[in-house]
Amino acid sequence: MTHDTSTDAADRRFAALPLRPGKIIAIHLSYASRADQRGRRPAAPSYFLKPSSSVAASGDSIERPAGTELLAFEAEVALVIGTDAYRVSVDDAWSHVGWVTASNDFGLYDLRANDRGSNVRSKGRDGYTPVGPELIDARTIEPNGLRVRAWVNGELAQEDTTARMIFPFAQLIADLAQHMTLERGDVILTGTPAGSSVVGPGDVVEVEVDAPGSPGAPTSGRLRTSVIQGDAGFDAVIGSLPAVDDVQRAEAWGSREAAGLAPETPETPGGLDAALRAKLERTPVAGLSQQLRKRGLNNVTIDGVRPLLPGTKVVGLARTLRFVPNREDLFASHGGGYNAQKRAFDAVGEGEVLIIEARGERGSGTLGDILAIRAHARGAAGIVTDGGVRDADAVAAVGIPVYSAGAHPAVLGRKHVPWDADLTVACGGTTVQPGDVIVGDADGVIVIPPAIADEVADAALEQEIEDGWIAAQVASGHPVDGLFPLTGEWKDRYLAWRAEK
C-alpha cells in the first residue's frame, strides 16, 4: 500500500465507513467449513484486535514484505456498529448493527510464530483490512441470509453463506458486549469460510457480500485489492524475523495438499500398526538394511550416530526438527522464546521418533535432559540427532532411547539456530520425511519408506530364520562355500527344513 499521510488519503481509506473505527475486532473461527478444514471446531468464539490503520479502500494495493512467502486472503462479512452496545441480549444484539459490507482479513503467516493468537504483526499491517466498497443497511437484510464470495484473478476461490456459521452474528455481538462497549463505527470481522489461500505479487483479490434472498438483492459491490512486492524487510536487532514451517504453510494455503506437502502423520500412537511394530522390534537393523538394498535403496542409514545407552532399540514414525548454522542475528530472532526446538519437543507424539538435523556438527548440544524428559513424558519412542547431546548422563538416565553423534557440553547457540519442524530433513547423510519408519539398534539407525515397511519387515524376519539355520550348519563344522549364500544342495536342504517348520 502506498503510504500517504495527507487528510485526503486518510479520508479515502475510510470512505466506505461512517467514520474511522475506534476498534476492529476479528473472530478466529466461525464457519463450519473453515473449522472442518482446520480439523478443530471451537466450543466458543475467540477474537483478536486489528488497528484502524490497517483499513484500506477498494482499489488499494497491499505489500507482501521482502523475505516472506505466505500472504493469505480471507473473505469476510464486516459488521459496522450503528448504535453503542454494552451488555445487550442476544435478542437485541442485531439492532445495534448499522451496516454490513465486505472485508478482506489479509494475514502474513510468516509472522505468526511469535504472535500466535494475537496476530498483531501478521494481520495489523497497513492496508491489511480492505473494507467496502458499499454499505448495506442492516435493517434490510436477514443476518443468516448473507453470502460471501472471493475471487483470485477472476476465479472463484471462496463461497459460503452466514446460515452455515458456527456462531451467529447476534451471539458474537452479545458476547463481545459482555466485555466492552461496542461503539458506533466499530467494525467486527466475522470470520472466513473454507477456501482462504495464499496470493503473491501480481494477484488481484476481490470480495463481495450480498443478500440474494432480500428485496433488491443488496450488495457491497466487489472489494478489489492488488498485491505488490515490497522492498523493505525486517530488522532482527529490534524484533523477530519471518519464520515459516510446514504447519504455517498448510494453514496459509488451506491444506497440506494445497501447500504441496505430504499427508499428515496418522494420529494413532506412533502411527504404526501394532503387528508391524512388533515385527520391527524383533528385526535387526542389519537385516532391514539388506532387504532395502535388494529393493534398490542404499542411502537409508543415518550414519555417525550411536545409542547413548547401549542395548536400547528404537522403533517409530519420524517427526523432524531442523537446525541451521548459527548466525548471531538469526539466533537473536529464532533462538529464544517458544522456538522451533521447543515446539518440536512439545509436539512429538506417542510412539514417534524425533529426528534432528544438525548437519553432523558435534560442537554443541542439540538437546539436554529437560527436553529428553519432555519427549519421554509425551510418550516418544526415541530421539535421533546427528549432533551432540548435553547432560549426557542425565539424558541417559531419563530412559528414552537417544542416538547421537556424541556428547558435548556447549549450549545450542554455539553452533546452531533452531529453525523449523515437521518437514523433510537430512540427518546423518540421509533424507528423512515426517512419517518415515525409523528403526535403530546397536548397528545404527535406518529409515524405511512407510509404503514398504511391512514387506521389508517380513522379508528381513524370513532372512533371519535362514541366517540362523546357516549359522547352525557352520557351527557344526561345515564350510561356508555353498552355505553362505545358499546355493545348490544346501539351498534344497534349507527349503526342505523350512517346509517342515
Q: With 0-12 CB in 10 A as exposed, 13-18 as middle and 19+ as buried, what is 466?
A: middle
Question: What is the torsion angle, in degrees rounded to the nearest 10, for the CA atoms of residue 442, residue 445, residue 449 and residue 454?
Answer: 10
As a whole number of angstroms, the distance between CA 41 and CA 247 comes to 18
Buried b (16+ CB within 10 A) or exposed e, 355-393: bbbbbebbebbbbbbebbbbbbebebbbbbbbbbbbbbe
Strands 430-432 and 425-427, bridge-based pairing:
antiparallel
The answer to whether 129 and 15 have CB atoms below 8 angstroms apart is: no
Q: Report CA-CA distances (Å) from 125 to 27, 56, 118, 248.
A: 17, 11, 13, 18
- Kindly report the three-state secondary structure assignment for every residue of 254-270: CCCCCCCCCCCCCCCHH
Task: Classify 164 as helix, strand or coil.
Answer: helix
User: Can you read off the three cell numbers belonging to residue 342?
Assistant: 521447543
Binding residues for Mg(2+): 391
Binding residues: 368-371, 390-391
User: Can you read off the three cell numbers belonging to residue 378?
Assistant: 509425551
Task: Give, in degrees to the nearest 5, the angle at Cα 111 between 243 and 5.
Answer: 135
Q: Where does residue 479 fall: left (phi above 0), alpha (psi -120 to 50 degrees), or beta otherwise?
A: beta
Q: Which of 16, 58, 55 is nearest to 223 (CA)?
A: 58
User: Can you read off the three cell numbers belonging to residue 284?
Assistant: 535387526
User: Can you read off the three cell numbers belonging to residue 250?
Assistant: 498448510
Q: With 0-12 CB in 10 A as exposed, 13-18 as middle and 19+ as buried, what is 262?
A: middle
Neighbours of 26 (CB within 10 A): 24
The answer to whether 222 and 134 have CB atoms below 8 angstroms apart is: no
Binding residues for substrate: 368-371, 390
User: Can you read off the three cell numbers belonging to residue 95?
Assistant: 439492532
**Strand runs labelled E in 326-407:** 352-357, 382-385, 402-404
Give bridge partners of residue 187 from the DSSP assignment: 24, 80
**SS3 helix, strand, coil % of the chain, rounded to 5?**
30, 25, 45
User: Can you read off the three cell numbers belonging to residue 468?
Assistant: 540362523
The answer to whether 218 and 134 have CB atoms below 8 angstroms apart is: no
